């Protein structure tokens, strides 16, 4: 089984997914006329618009924080270090490139998540790829397969991995037994889950900005005290990105492959996970494209901002040298070199908070699919919560040599299905975006009604956009 998972991951991540996701990013950047450049300021303008019209929904800001809770984590702390170790400083440039084109993909899938959303038995919004597969393409069998992968990946595997990372960090830093760590994680998560998706969104809206800003302030401080080295570091990134510092083309290929892989894995654009959070929001303006803009900002924050902060802190220590350390240990080493021993404590705290918010965001992604299985009731939700928390506790105390590989495989399958679907739904994406932009250019607050476009594929739930 381990050999099969390894073979499948190598095929997916080193061959299929790189070309598929890069191709999709270029395609949507072209079809949407470089929306991520033309309307870059607009992403920020609508982020803090209040959504007071629906008390059962979450705001656009809360939806963004929920998606960032899942995005920002070990990939930003450890993944960047891995990219630099395997691909050199130039890998960071290719992470920027994939984030730039991935912003268009993130816009497209989040727009669809909003457009094809439904209300569950409690009157809350739910949506995601399984919903736009069912309603947009009329392929319930494919939606069932996607939902099953979501349940396995985000309902079971990913929560175990994140809990294991927290327990390992606390055990290494403070000698805390894994059982105690797991118990605390489960109790805190259960308390939040009792309040439903809105409680998760409120929690993410507090923790993610505080921890994210603290991390960025630390990175800014380190850059300021090393300001004279910044031009050289940036020059190293650009020259290494095109193989100008290496003897052969192998290093150039390594920079591209590792930069693209880590960028795709970190920002999740195209994986089909973020539309679950996007669908839960009541956007303001009241239009599916509004949440597309907000979640496009999430790709920018995750990769261009947070990953770049990690990269600069590492490269300001390494320069053009290599290191025997990799992953989170390299990040810990770099920060400790800059600020002293307390940097280890900061990183340990960051890992715990980022991973915990990832756990609760993963719950939202999986729980959003209960509606498709007719389980969006008290019994279905509590049954799922018990299974989710059990796997979380198990992950905190278990040795997980192959679980990371299984997590990669689950994410890879989800991404292949989702990207294929959103490519087929391109006419709908273009039509809804055009409707939004025309109203915006007419100095109107965009508002979506089904009569404004005749190119919506499939059907949309009645009264959702009334």
Question: Which has the closest alpha carbon to 188: 171, 166, 169, 209?
Answer: 166
Output the pLDDT for position 248: 45
> Which domains, and CATH codes, for the chain?
2-452 (1.20.1740)
Residue 446: name the closest of 288, 292, 285, 295 by CA. Answer: 285
pLDDT in tens, 318-345: 765 666 766 777 888 888 888 888 887 8
The candidate with the shortest Cα–Cα distance to 111, out of 134, 91, 136, is 136
For residue 370, which of 42, 70, 151, 73 has the smallest C-alpha distance?
151
Give me the pLDDT at residue 319, please.
66
pTM: 0.88
**Reduced to 3 states, what is the DSSP secondary structure of residue 195?**
coil
Q: Please give the helix or strand (H or E) that residue 111 lies within, else none.
A: helix 90-115
- pLDDT confidence of residue 221: 92
Q: What is the 3-state secondary structure (H, E, C) of 125-186?
A: EECCHHHHHHHHHCCHHHHHHHHHHHHHHHHHHHHHHHHHHHHHHHHHHHCCCHHHHHHHHH
Per-residue pLDDT, 242? 78
Cα of 462 vs its chain's centroid, Å: 30
Q: Which residue has the tokens 């009241």?
A: 286
Q: What are phi and psi of 325, to 5 degrees?
A: -80, 155
DSSP state string for 393-446: HHHHHS--TTHHHHHHHHHHHHHHHHHHHHHHTHHHHHHHHHHHHHHHHTT---
- Residue range 165-224, pLDDT digits in tens: 788 778 877 888 888 988 999 999 999 988 888 888 888 888 888 988 999 999 999 999
Question: Tokens for 298?
Answer: 């999430």
For 197: left if phi > 0, alpha if psi spans -120 to 50, otherwise beta; the answer is alpha
Residue 118 host element (H or E): strand 118-119
At 268 the pLDDT is: 79
Can you tell me the distance from the alpha carbon of 116 to that of 148, in angstroms, rounded to the nearest whole number? 19
Chain Cα centroid distance, residue 335: 24
pLDDT at 254: 72
pLDDT tens-place string over residues 219-263: 999 999 999 999 998 998 888 887 655 544 455 667 777 777 777
- Please state, in angstroms and rounded to a whole number, the distance separating the CA atoms of residues 287 and 271: 23
Q: What is the pLDDT along the chain (466 residues), one digit of tens a residue?
A: 777 877 888 888 778 888 898 899 999 999 999 999 999 999 888 877 765 555 666 788 888 888 888 787 777 777 788 888 888 888 889 889 889 999 999 999 999 999 999 887 777 888 899 999 999 999 999 998 888 888 888 888 888 878 887 887 788 778 888 889 889 999 999 999 888 888 888 888 888 889 889 999 999 999 999 999 999 989 988 888 876 555 444 556 677 777 777 777 777 788 888 898 888 888 888 899 999 999 999 899 988 999 899 899 999 987 656 667 667 778 888 888 888 888 878 888 888 888 898 888 888 888 888 877 777 777 888 888 999 999 888 888 876 556 667 777 878 888 899 999 999 999 999 999 999 999 988 888 888 887 655 578 888 888 887 7
Length of the chain: 466
pLDDT score at 321:
63
Contacts 24+ apart (CB under 8 A), 44-47: 44/297, 46/283, 46/284, 46/285, 46/290, 46/293, 46/294, 47/294, 47/297
């Amino acid at each position: 089984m381990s050999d099969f998972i390894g073979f499948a991951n190598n095929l997916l991540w080193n061959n299929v997914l790189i070309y598929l996701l890069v191709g999709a990013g270029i395609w949507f950047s072209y079809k949407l006329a470089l929306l991520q450049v033309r309307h870059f300021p607009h992403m920020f303008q609508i982020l803090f618009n209040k959504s007071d019209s629906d008390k059962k929904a979450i705001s656009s800001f809360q939806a963004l924080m929920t998606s960032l809770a899942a995005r920002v984590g070990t990939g930003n702390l450890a993944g960047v270090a891995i990219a630099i170790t395997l691909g050199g400083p130039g890998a960071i440039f290719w992470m920027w490139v994939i984030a730039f084109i991935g912003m268009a993909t993130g816009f497209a899938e989040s727009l669809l998540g909003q457009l094809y959303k439904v209300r569950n038995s409690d009157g809350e919004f739910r949506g995601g790829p399984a919903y736009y597969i069912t309603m947009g393409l009329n392929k319930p069998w494919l939606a069932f397969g996607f939902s099953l992968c979501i349940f396995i990946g985000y309902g079971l595997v990913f929560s175990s991995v994140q809990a294991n990372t927290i327990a390992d960090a606390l055990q290494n830093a403070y000698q805390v037994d894994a059982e105690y760590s797991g118990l605390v994680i489960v109790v805190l998560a259960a308390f939040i889950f009792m309040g439903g998706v809105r409680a998760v969104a409120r929690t993410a809206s507090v923790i993610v900005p505080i921890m994210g800003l603290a991390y960025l302030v630390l990175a800014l401080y380190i850059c300021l005290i090393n300001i004279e080295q910044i031009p050289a570091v940036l020059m190293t990134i650009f020259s290494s990105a095109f193989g100008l510092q290496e003897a052969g083309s192998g290093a150039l290929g390594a920079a591209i492959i590792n930069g693209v892989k880590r960028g795709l894995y970190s920002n999740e654009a195209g994986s089909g996970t973020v539309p679950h959070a996007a669908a839960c929001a009541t956007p303001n303006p009241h239009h599916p494209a509004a949440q597309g803009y907000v979640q496009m900002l999430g790709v920018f924050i995750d990769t261009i901002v947070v990953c770049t902060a990690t990269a600069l802190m590492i490269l300001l220590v390494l320069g053009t040298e290599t290191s025997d350390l990799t992953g989170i240990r390299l990040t810990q080493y770099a920060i400790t070199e800059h600020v002293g021993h307390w940097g280890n404590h900061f990183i340990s705290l960051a890992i715990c908070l980022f991973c915990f918010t990832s756990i609760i965001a993963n719950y939202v992604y999986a729980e959003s699919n209960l509606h498709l299985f007719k389980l969006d009731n008290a019994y279905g939700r509590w049954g799922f919560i018990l299974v989710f928390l059990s796997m979380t506790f198990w992950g905190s105390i278990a040795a997980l040599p192959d679980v990371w590989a299984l997590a990669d495989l689950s994410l890879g399958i989800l991404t292949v299905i989702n990207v294929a679907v959103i490519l087929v739904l391109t006419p709908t994406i273009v039509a809804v975006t055009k409707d939004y932009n025309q109203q915006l250019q007419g100095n109107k607050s965009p508002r979506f009604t089904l009569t404004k476009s005749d190119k919506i594929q499939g059907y949309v739930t009645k009264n959702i956009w009334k």
